[in-house]
Chains A and B, each alone.
Chain A
Amino acid sequence: MSMHKCGLFYTTYAREDGLFPSKFQKTCLALFLAAMLACPQFLDSYAVSVLNLILIAVIGAVSLNLLTGVCGQMSLGHGAFVGVGAYGAAIFSNMGAPFFLALLGGGAVAAMVGMVFGIPSLRLKGIYLAISTLAAQLILEYVFLHASSLTGGANGLPVDPPEILGFAFDTDARIFYLILAVAALCVLAVTNVTRTRHGRAFVAIRDYHQSAENVGVNLFAYKLQAFGLSSFLAGIAGGLWAHYTMYITPEQFSMGLSISYLAMIIIGGMGSVIGSIFGAIFITLLPELLNLLISALGGFAPDLSAIIVPMKEGVFGLMLVLFLIFEPEGLARKWRLTKAYWKLYPFAY
């Protein structure tokens, strides 16, 4: 599964099972984290806001990948589960709960809702399950819109920025550190699950559910756990989203959000944690890059940019299709191949 450096030998199983077994990997991780921490010092607030959106998308994509990529349970309702977490956290927060409690509460509500909508997975597989989660999406959207006493209905729900021990995370740069920490924890959690008993059982269910049953995996219990854990993390993403944007409305958690999460994990690589991160970055950055392109063109070819603006959505779709054709296993595979190439460089094999 993992690609390790040449000439790295292990003397204990515990060491081999480590996430970053080599010094080189540890150094890379440290450098990456340092670079991330330094980001707000060097970037303007717009760029930091894009980073924040990416990090929230990373949590959403990683959680969907746990359910759909790892456990094989197709979900078209992930955007709505994010929404449940967002409304849950917002409501708890407005009731005066401290930030982390509200965040966890939102996650817990999302987990419960996710598990309820996961019940059909006992009987339904593949495309049929996808349709039943689509029903979850529509039902939840309806609830967001019509349970106005709780959610504010179409008017939306204002939320205060998070405050921990009197310190308000009220700017893009400040909240960046908070979101980064939570996102790192979520990614670590999913990574841990995929390399232990539960993650293996999830893959077993995905790959061959009859023999999973015969090795002792309780299919229903584990599918529900996958739904629960995935929706919990989706709820965390939603809670962060609510506290970050400070205003949530039902249309933020529409079908489109669910589809874009699916696009993230397909482009990133099904079942791969690092793939979900790549996918989240790609899908969040793509419109931004198109905007940049349009404004750059606007400088010397305003006619051309006027044509491209309405085509933005089309270009977005085209990129997705091309991606699926030329790299169906996603960015995670590209990443693996690149690593394998540099591992042996300058030798061919």
Chain B
Amino acid sequence: MNGSSPLLAVQEVSLTFKNVAALSRVSCSVQQGSITSLIGPNGAGKTSMLNCISGRYTPTKGKISMGDRELTGVPAHKRTGFGLARTFQNIALFRGLSVLDNLMVGRHSRLGYGLLASVFYLGKARREETRHRQRVEEIIDFLNLSPYRHQTAGHLPYGVQKKVELGRALAAEPELLLLDEPMAGMNLEETEDMARSILDINEEWGVTVFLVEHDMGVVMDLSDHVIVLDFGRVLASGTPEAIQSNPKVISAYLGDDDGLYKGR
């Protein structure tokens, strides 16, 4: 769990939108094989951070690298090739596709055939479709999605859609998985189920997980390492135990006991 080389390194990243600083000089790292969580109050810049890593936003300043390869400046659609996959806070499934096809799209960059092969569905296209279908079926089994395999994603219940989105990210066989609030809006059982999936993905598949989550119980239970953001700055970073007892974190986020009496 404590490999010495960070898989993801964020160095002095700043992101501003017309003078509003969403992130200022954020530096953090995610160790290979760990589950690292990013927490912070609403508007702290957690999702902005994920968007910088996944390539939707380009940081105004700073550098993001994965392993020894620089990510900054690489277009979002090429980052899957670096071993990066993500899920979204609000479900971002392809509603018109079946669960199976959603996962197959997840493997998009692993399928290599061109438009002509698509048009004629000959040899290579047919072989690759079958081969990748097998891999996708393993993920479907792993996430217990088989009853929904051929159903249209948009018609599924919320909890299942969240899982399908996780499956789509997994289908790319990433090294680093970015999860943006995977437990948001879930009930207790769904949360436990999701937590179990995340642990399995990390332990059995060896995928490094970078998690943004509001459910503190989940964060403290799952994480090897926690990073706290507040107003776009890193407030603290350390093991869950250290974070829970850090006075700055307590006053900014977890809420200190005296806060009530001081009229906050």
- Footprint of B on A, CB under 8 Å? 1, 12-14, 17, 189, 192-193, 195-201, 203-204, 206-208, 210-219, 225, 229, 271
CB closest residue in chain A, given B120: A192
> Is B238 positioned at the interface, with any CB of A under 8 Å from its CB?
no
Interface string of B75-107 (1 = CB under 8 A from A): 111111100011010001111111001001110
**Given A1-B101, A192-B121, A214-B54, A197–B93 Cβ distance below 8 Å?**
no
CB closest residue in chain B, given A233: B119
B120 & A189 in contact (Cβ 8 Å cutoff): yes
A17 to B130 alpha-carbon distance, docked (Å): 8
Q: Looking at the assembled complex, report how far the CB atom of A142 sits from the nearest CB atom of chain B, in whole angstroms.
A: 31
- Footprint of A on B, CB under 8 Å? 54-56, 75-81, 85-86, 88, 92-98, 101, 104-106, 108-109, 111, 113, 115, 117-121, 125-126, 128-130, 133-134, 137, 150, 152, 168, 172
B105 & A200 in contact (Cβ 8 Å cutoff): yes
Decide if the interface of chain B is mainly helix, strand, loop or mixed: helix
Give 5 closest A-B pairs by Cβ, nearest first.
A216-B109, A216-B80, A211-B92, A207-B94, A192-B121
Which of B54, B55, B78, B98 lies in contact with A1, CB distance below 8 A?
B98
Q: Looking at the assembled complex, report how far the CB atom of B116 sits from the nearest CB atom of chain A, in whole angstroms.
A: 10
A229 to B114 alpha-carbon distance, docked (Å): 13
B94 & A17 in contact (Cβ 8 Å cutoff): no
CB closest residue in chain B, given A197: B111
Q: Looking at the assembled complex, report how far the CB atom of B203 sits from the nearest CB atom of chain A, in whole angstroms.
A: 24
* B residues in contact with A195, CB < 8 Å: 121
A1 to B56 alpha-carbon distance, docked (Å): 31
* A residues in contact with B55, CB < 8 Å: 213-214
Which of B77, B93, B126, B129 lies in contact with A207, CB distance below 8 A?
B93
* A residues in contact with B128, CB < 8 Å: 197
B96 & A201 in contact (Cβ 8 Å cutoff): no
A17 & B108 in contact (Cβ 8 Å cutoff): no
User: B81, B94, B137, B152: which has the most chain A beta carbons within 10 Å?
Assistant: B94
Which of A189, A193, A196, A219 lies in contact with B129, CB distance below 8 A?
A196
A222 to B120 alpha-carbon distance, docked (Å): 18
Please list 18 pairs of residues, one from A and one from B, whose beta carbons are closer than 8 Å in the complex, sorted by A's number: A14-B126, A196-B117, A197-B104, A207-B97, A208-B93, A208-B95, A210-B56, A210-B88, A211-B88, A213-B56, A214-B54, A214-B80, A216-B81, A216-B109, A218-B75, A225-B115, A229-B115, A229-B119
B120 & A1 in contact (Cβ 8 Å cutoff): no
CB closest residue in chain B, given A190: B119
B56 & A192 in contact (Cβ 8 Å cutoff): no
A207 to B161 alpha-carbon distance, docked (Å): 14
* A residues in contact with B130, CB < 8 Å: 12-14, 17
